[in-house]
Chain A
């Protein structure tokens, strides 16, 4: 389990990194950026990733920040999950994002793994991509032509694939603060604490005049990317919360799934069932957090 030979460069700035990547691209050289290494280094060691060059981002300290700007929390791509976990700003202003952070691996993983890395890795069972979709986050991407902003629902393309081009860098993740009165829930079912979820859910909703409004229901672990459960969302929109309604939303959500993944831990059928369970549980919890009660 040793990597194939590769060259190694450590740019000083994001701009330098991007121009490096562009140069390699132009020369037909395959380059991959390295952030916290928690996903990439195992792939490298198993020789499943075989880039010619590894571009290490460790010196890009300017991409390490968490700050609030006009109702949006801007997080530098190189910020570690541990820093998110310890951020009071995030704990108070975006509790869903905070709660999901605690479910990622273990302390050691969170201490090295970065926010940008998790988004760029786009693991279908990972927490952050699902939360990005549920909260409508935005990704700031830097190329030699400058920056562009990609909303989460256009960012995740398929299994381990995002909008980031091989010459680009994800520099910032923009997280809307949780609006006052929004109920939320983040839950996952995993074989053990700290494992990637078999199925997980990220949910937000509001209660207006006793009915559910603006529901966002996102599941992860069930397909190639996190999925927004639109049928389940419309099933509850404008309806008074109830256990039956949420069970029904679960049914609808589960039926909506195309073909859930199957692996050694869970068959497709079991995953589909868990999707039902998670949707219902998340909706119940989110309703409670929104100040509602469930009949």
Chain B
């Protein structure tokens, strides 16, 4: 049975919340920022070996032979792993869609540069790397598929021969009378767009210590795991072990953003441990491994899209044709980020009909992995760019065309054509607030002056929905099974009244341990430092998923409040017994159990918990001496999708509006962000400072996406990016001071009315910067349609303009 949990802040058993909703300093940060958290690289275990991985230098090559005999003889080497071993001991990786997985080491052929081919465990990483040089691999290079368009060409080399084609998934969704909408429209705005590969780059790469217990035939993996239980299932499938024979112990990690990856490294280390008589084997991914072959590459998309618009600016239809390069295999679950835009397909608008024609292909690039935002950021780049084009064509202001098409506050809950339901919002108020803050009129005047002086200055006004709290059903469009994503916690109170909560995820930087402590401190009327939050590994944690899909803040709140409520009910029953009354006459407020309406008839929660553990003689009949409760939360009302993929997938719909002013240097194509304004609405802000942190980090990532970050491959699928000299992350010099403000429209459906906000501005910043650039370029009659808008690309655009140069 699920517990009835507070839906609003006022419903908490607290006369006045002291922590929830307040700007509380994060309890986990001192450890993370001083490096004193037990990051995996800090872990030393007796007898531990170090792994290094030999990787394919070829994008596509048959492996004729692997000779590791010299490596095995090298002093200090304990074990060498090759394709032969993995064929004997493992299964290919599970993928979505099914059947596009390979073994953790290439066995018959290598499909991307950096694919592991062999591995060594030795007394140190240095020795292991020395030994790699002694392994001889005979390759027979094959012609490579360099990008998504080439994958579809007649006679293209096949990444998986048995599939007969490089198409991983193809599906056409039609929602509503879309052809009619386009036939009836006064204008159809069409364009092509290109979003180049980029992705997560956490401070810490992936790392793991795997150990095979030879007697029990079980595996224990300690490492920087984002979703432990999910990861455990994957390992069990790979190793052919019962799922309870894999134990995943997640360590604090230095960020993830979806990029931790790590499946192959974990498996390789585990198998090396098996070969090395069960000694623990550590593998720490280095930055070059990460950039070439890690979990950091996402969204490699070609788009063709059209918007149906009437003369008055009303948008009636939206068609998107997507070609996405998933990479050499499906192991990184890249396909699901092509499905996620279903949750927000038509953005903030009342567009009534839509179509999504998706083709996902395999190439010889690195398999895609998740990245913060998980798919909609490129989709919004397309949608918002087309909305701006429509405004330009109709001579409307970009803010007015948006205003005209907003879903109105009284229309919520609102079901969009692609099936998801938006819970609540007030988009027009959000727009007005940011326009006001930016002094939009004055900005436009400033722009006009700059343009008169020959400068290329542009302004954008863009908006987006952030789908919050994912459900597996959101990804059914690409074959993901399941409905419901559980998140569980166990709360225990000890005999002294101290409270410990066990959660299934480790520190990653988002501040959820703080949130757990805030909630419990208010629920039981104690100070925050009386709450201890600890990580439980997969052998002891309640069902959980962890961070991902902008869900954990909401899901964790649900679980904490559910468990707290169960505990409260126990305490009420025990206290009622002690005070010789019925539980129905009792209440708990600020941590005191009291008889309603009777002054001074009260006792503190700690005393009740202590009684439960130390005085069984005083307990009501049938009450176990267990001041502990577990609750597992999942979003209510989720169901399987219909035949057009429609379902309520994401529980909440936060929204934001950004106003951005940029200048493009006409001579160099370089972009400077002059001003940046944001108003966002993610419902109840459980810890406003934390939300701000999410916002600013996501803006930085969005700027990286819009202007800097790109995994470049050459025409033979060789990666040209292998260090941070090539892959440019934004630094403090590239991220402007942002002015931000909040609106609060609580969700009617989520615990305490909070909406998912962890992915945040990455949805909107790339679109916003490109739209501002295009506003700046508009006088030249050119527009950027490729991300990132590098200076070289913008310079080429400016060159192509029919406009006097070098003035």
Report A's interface with B, CB cutoff 8 A.
Answer: 1-5, 42, 46-47, 189, 191-196, 198, 247, 263-267, 270, 273-274, 277
Contact at B731–A274, with CB atoms within 8 Å?
no
Summed over the interface, the residue pairs from A and B with CB atoms below 8 Å come to a total of: 61
- Minimum CB–CB distance from B734 to chain A (whole Å) comes to 6
Contact at A191–B728, with CB atoms within 8 Å?
yes
Give Cα distance in the complex from A195 to B792, angstroms.
Answer: 16
Give Cα distance in the complex from A199 to B806, angstroms.
Answer: 18
**B694-742 at interface with A (beta carbon < 8 Å):** 708, 710, 712, 720-721, 723, 725-726, 728, 730-731, 733-734
Contact at B728–A270, with CB atoms within 8 Å?
no
Known: A189-B670, A192-B733, A195-B728. A4 touches B708 (CB 8 A): no
In the complex, the chain B residue whose C-beta lies closest to that of A199 is: B668
Contact at A1–B733, with CB atoms within 8 Å?
no
In the complex, the chain B residue whose C-beta lies closest to that of A264 is: B712
For B288, B670, B725, B792, which residue has the most chain A Cβ atoms within 10 angstroms? B792
B interface residues, how many (CB within 8 angstroms): 31
The reply to whether the CB of B84 lies closer than 8 angstroms to some CB of chain A is: no
Contact at B726–A264, with CB atoms within 8 Å?
yes
Report B's interface with A, CB cutoff 8 A.
Answer: 125-126, 129-130, 133, 286-288, 667-670, 708, 710, 712, 720-721, 723, 725-726, 728, 730-731, 733-734, 790-792, 795-796, 806
Which residues of chain A come closer than 8 Å to B710, judged between CB atoms? Answer: 264
Contact at B129–A2, with CB atoms within 8 Å?
yes
Give Cα distance in the complex from A267 to B129, angstroms.
Answer: 35
Known: A1-B287, A264-B720. A277 touches B667 (CB 8 A): yes
Known: A2-B125, A264-B720, A264-B726. A191 touches B288 (CB 8 A): no
Contact at A270–B792, with CB atoms within 8 Å?
yes
In the complex, the chain B residue whose C-beta lies closest to that of A45 is: B286
The 6 closest A-B pairs by CB, nearest first: A193-B733, A2-B126, A1-B286, A264-B712, A277-B667, A270-B792
For A192, A194, A264, which residue has the most chain B Cβ atoms within 10 angstroms? A264
Contact at A194–B130, with CB atoms within 8 Å?
no
- Minimum CB–CB distance from A16 to chain B (whole Å) comes to 28
10 inter-chain pairs at a CB distance below 8 angstroms, sorted by A residue, are A2-B125, A4-B129, A4-B133, A189-B670, A192-B730, A192-B731, A193-B734, A247-B806, A265-B792, A270-B792
Contact at A266–B792, with CB atoms within 8 Å?
yes
Contact at A5–B130, with CB atoms within 8 Å?
yes
Give Cα distance in the complex from A265 to B406, angstroms.
Answer: 40
Known: A2-B125, A192-B734. A273 touches B795 (CB 8 A): yes
Give Cα distance in the complex from A198 to B795, angstroms.
Answer: 14
Contact at B790–A265, with CB atoms within 8 Å?
yes
Which residues of chain A come closer than 8 Å to B806, judged between CB atoms? Answer: 247
Give Cα distance in the complex from A3 to B734, angstroms.
Answer: 33
Which residues of chain B come closer than 8 Å to A193, judged between CB atoms? Answer: 731, 733-734
- Minimum CB–CB distance from B715 to chain A (whole Å) comes to 14
Contact at A46–B288, with CB atoms within 8 Å?
yes
In the complex, the chain B residue whose C-beta lies closest to that of A198 is: B791
Which residues of chain B come closer than 8 Å to A42, judged between CB atoms? Answer: 723
Give Cα distance in the complex from A5 to B723, angstroms.
Answer: 23
- Minimum CB–CB distance from A192 to chain B (whole Å) comes to 6
Contact at A194–B129, with CB atoms within 8 Å?
no
Contact at B668–A274, with CB atoms within 8 Å?
yes
In the complex, the chain A residue whose C-beta lies closest to that of B129 is: A2
Give Cα distance in the complex from A4 to B74, angstroms.
Answer: 14
Which residues of chain A come closer than 8 Å to B286, judged between CB atoms? Answer: 1
Given contacts A196-B725, A264-B721, A274-B668, 18 further A-B contacts (CB under 8 A): A5-B130, A47-B129, A189-B668, A189-B670, A189-B791, A191-B728, A191-B790, A191-B791, A192-B708, A192-B731, A192-B733, A193-B733, A247-B806, A264-B710, A265-B790, A266-B791, A270-B796, A277-B667
Contact at A267–B725, with CB atoms within 8 Å?
no
Which residues of chain B come closer than 8 Å to A266, judged between CB atoms? Answer: 791-792
Contact at A270–B288, with CB atoms within 8 Å?
no
Which residues of chain B come closer than 8 Å to A267, judged between CB atoms? Answer: 792
For B287, B288, B730, B791, which residue has the most chain A Cβ atoms within 10 angstroms? B791
Contact at B668–A1, with CB atoms within 8 Å?
no
Which residues of chain A come closer than 8 Å to B126, judged between CB atoms? Answer: 2-3, 5
Contact at A194–B728, with CB atoms within 8 Å?
no
